[in-house]
Amino acid sequence: MNDPMAQNLKKEDRYSYIEVGEGQPIIVLHGLMGGLSNFDGVVNFFSTKGYNVIIPELPVYSMSLLKTNVKSFAEYLQEFIEFKGLDNVILLGNSLGGHIGLYHTKHYAKVVKGLVITGSSGLYESAMGGGYTKRSDYEVIKKKAQDVFYDPAIATKEIVDEVYETVNDRNKLVKTLAIAKSAIRHNMSKDLPEMSTPTCIIWGKNDTVTPPDVAEEFNELLPDSELFWIDKCGHAAMMEHPDTFNEILYKWLQKRNF
């Protein structure tokens, strides 16, 4: 992964992570196919606004197959939070990362001050792994990667290459399918009404992976949530419209005194 941020990657104990800025911790949770650089805009903006932005590399492909599931990733996140000695964190998750954030918040609500989800799985069954299951030729994969975004140009060659490499790596493919099954198994619809953590939902109006009605359902089920839309935007709002995304989130954090 030629990740420009990878040069800032810290390795401590069994953790690899990027950490920039000082202040209120925001832990960013990436998705299944998402590189850490997907959050460059978030890191660059919030690290200058009094936030300590931390992006741990989640062990989506490095856990044993038995542990390749949402629950294990949430436990890994909690171990990381304890390792870093953090408290009152804000979790920000995209796609699978949002699902991990939700599941973690359900079980470790005491350490989570606020939750931010964008294009999150957790309600909608075919949120992940759909269509990636058959080893496909490059053009098919390219089209699938482009479909994640409203503007296909966001799917750079680097992004397409990474998805292609993942799908054609037997080990990663098996784990991708295990995660997709786990996401269905860990459906959050019954849990959400019990979760009172303040939640900011930022969604692309043109998200075809987790469509807009998923965002509306999250907003209805969560007791203390606000929903914000970004127009002409697909599944990864923080990549397609970083400035708008940051502006929405910053206003929400300020309003909540976070």
pLDDT at 7 (0 to 100): 63
Residue 174 domain-assigned (yes or no):
no
Please report, for the domain that includes residue 107, its CATH number: 3.40.50.1820
pLDDT at 8 (0 to 100): 82
Residue 178 domain-assigned (yes or no):
no
Q: What total number of domains does the chain contain?
A: 1
pLDDT at 35 (0 to 100): 78
| Regions of the chain short of the pLDDT cut 50 | 1-4, 127-129
Range of the domain at 28: 4-124+187-255
Residue 17 domain-assigned (yes or no):
yes
Name the amino acid, one letter, at 115: L
Supply the DSSP symbol for 57. Answer: P
Residue 133 domain-assigned (yes or no):
no
Residue 41 domain-assigned (yes or no):
yes
Residue 28 domain-assigned (yes or no):
yes
Alpha helix positions (H), 92-211: 96-107, 138-147, 157-167, 170-185
Residue 155 domain-assigned (yes or no):
no
Residue 80 domain-assigned (yes or no):
yes
